[in-house]
Amino acid sequence: MPTVYLIRHGEVANPNHVCYATMPGFNLSPLGVLQAHATGRHLADHPLDLVLTSPLARAVQTATAIGRHHDVPVQVDDRLIETGQLPHWTGMRWDDIARVHADELAQYLEDATRVEGSVETIDEIAERGTRAIGETVANGHDHVAVVGHQDATQAARLALSGRPLSELRLDPPPHAAVITLVSSGARWVEQSVW
């Protein structure tokens, strides 16, 4: 049965607490490197054909660590990139976002599918992620690790398992978490979270 391991990248070095989104230069912290290798060790006993990853450095670093534990290829897919929902937050400190964009932040935390002024909707984010995963599985990769970002990973998780996207902020994946989804034919079933 096709199995997908949805993985959020490891912790990022971000001493200024910036909303880094798609900004370059945000790599794994020392803890994030350890988390990435722990994820690779966790998956070492699981079959794996391919590691699919966002093009951003923190995701590629996590994917590379996982790939090394399996000696499988790492493939970049731009559709797994960080969300583009609120690009005007990019580069701002989170405490400044809470002050300057308080209403938007409150909307996002309450229900990210209803944030006014979103450049990219959660539906679009989920669709691009599920399309990348679906095409990869359709191309014969039955066991795929997919490394991405918190909201994009959560959106794909919800869409694949048939849950409402309004649950985006409910139990989002922590750094380097592994969400195992198994195909039951018509739908993906969440089997475990590590």
> At a CB cut-off of 8 Å and minimum separation 6, what does 92 contact?
18, 19, 100
CA torsion sign, 104 to 116 to 174 to 18?
negative
Q: How far is residue 89 CA from its own chain's centroid?
A: 19
How far is Cα 116 from Cα 143, in angstroms, rounded to an integer? 37
> At a CB cut-off of 8 Å and minimum separation 6, what does 74 contact?
50, 51, 53, 60, 63, 64, 66, 67
In this predicted structure, the answer to whether residue 187 has a pLDDT above a threshold of 90 is: no
pLDDT at residue 116 in the model: 86
Give the SS3 label for residue 155. Answer: helix
pLDDT at residue 154 in the model: 98
What pLDDT, in 10s, does the model give residues 29-52?
Answer: 999 999 999 999 999 999 999 999
> At a CB cut-off of 8 Å and minimum separation 6, what does 47 contact?
3, 142, 143
How far is Cα 103 from Cα 7, in angstroms, rounded to an integer? 30
- How large is the greatest C-alpha to C-alpha distance in the chain, in angstroms? 48
Question: Cα 67–71–56 angle (5° rounding)?
Answer: 25
pTM: 0.95
Summarize the chain as % helix, strand, coil (round to 5).
45, 20, 35
What pLDDT, in 10s, does the model give residues 63-120?
Answer: 999 999 989 999 999 999 999 999 999 999 999 999 999 999 999 999 999 998 899 9
CB atoms within 10 A of CB 140: 9
> At a CB cut-off of 8 Å and minimum separation 6, what does 84 contact?
21, 22, 119, 120, 125
